[in-house]
Amino acid sequence: MKTLSALFILLSLSASSYSYAEEKSEVSLKTAAENSVLDGNVVKKRNKKMKKSVYIKPNILQVKVIISGEEVVIQRNQDRKALVTKFYQKTGRGIIKPMHPFKPHAVETIAEHEMIDYISRVSLPEWNTAVVDARKSVWLTLTGILPGATHVPFHKFNKDKNYAREVMEEEFGVIYDANGIRDFSSAKTLAIYCNGNWCRMSPELIWGLLNYGYPAEKIKYYRGGMQAWQLLGLTTVGG
């Protein structure tokens, strides 16, 4: 009789354990299913975020400009995983330039929105505008150039007076009279850049222009330069 009772108790415990295990298994499966749904939603949100367009400014995805008779689209890189080029990852370059390094001259410091506006004016004669890359040639090979930019290496402009005159007459609209006196009344507005706010190349070109008498109000300094431009994934050409 005792053996039968013990067997009955053992069977009851086994059934109870099986029921508990089954119930626990169902809970685990339910939790796993819920987690799976949650993970799926997270993935969907992540994918949606990754596919979201990268805008220049609210509701403006791209700006179309005409450069040398051809349409160029300025926009940001739409790949949200894109990284800035290795040339601009090093943090120890140069000396940080102040926001207005040309005082007392009234040279305006500009940012990306303004630079895009100046690029869009390059092919419009009524705006009388030029975008100028002041860097040494090697940098153009490494990083490309802003659309529509004219390359005027700062060191050559400042050391070679004949080259400086040629550039000012042919590219910037400065008029020289028979005595070599410069007339800036029809000179272009220049939006000048180099590598970034640590780089000396565009500031030195700007000082060179100021020393020649170029009107400060016709010079714009894009302080962020190519580094800021690439950091935002904006369009470059060449390179």
- pTM of this structure: 0.79
pLDDT score, position 25: 45
d(CA 16, CA 135): 81
Residue 87 pLDDT? 85
Task: Quote the tokens at residue 9.
Answer: 């108790």
b vs e for 32-54, b when ≥16 Cβ sit within 10 Å of the residue's Cβ? Answer: eeeeeeeeeeeeeeeeeeeeeee
pLDDT on residue 45? 52
CATH architecture of 62-231: 3-Layer(aba) Sandwich (3.40)
Q: How far apart are CA 226 and CA 42, in angstroms?
A: 36
User: Which pLDDT score, from 0 to 100, does residue 11 have?
Assistant: 36
Cα–Cα–Cα angle for 117, 136, 153, rounded to 5 degrees: 65
Question: Helix, strand, coil proportions of the chain in percent (round to 5)?
Answer: 45, 20, 35
Provide the pLDDT for residue 161. 97
Structure tokens at 34: 């819920």
The tens place of each residue's pLDDT in the chain, 239 residues long, gives 444 444 344 334 344 444 444 444 454 434 433 443 434 444 345 545 557 899 999 999 999 999 999 999 999 999 999 999 888 999 999 999 999 999 999 999 999 999 999 999 999 999 999 999 999 999 999 999 999 999 999 999 999 999 999 999 999 999 999 999 999 999 999 999 999 999 999 999 999 999 999 999 999 999 999 999 999 999 999 86
**Amino acid (1-letter code) at residue 70:** E
Contact 136, 155 (CB under 8 A): yes
Structure tokens at 38: 């949650």
Domain ranges in the chain?
62-231
Q: What single letter denotes the amino acid at residue 118?
A: Y
**Residue 117: predicted pLDDT:** 97
Q: Which two tokens stand for residue 51?
A: 């596919």
Task: List the beta bridge partners of residue 62.
Answer: 75
- Cα–Cα distance for residue pair 235/165, rounded to 1 Å: 31
pLDDT at 115: 98
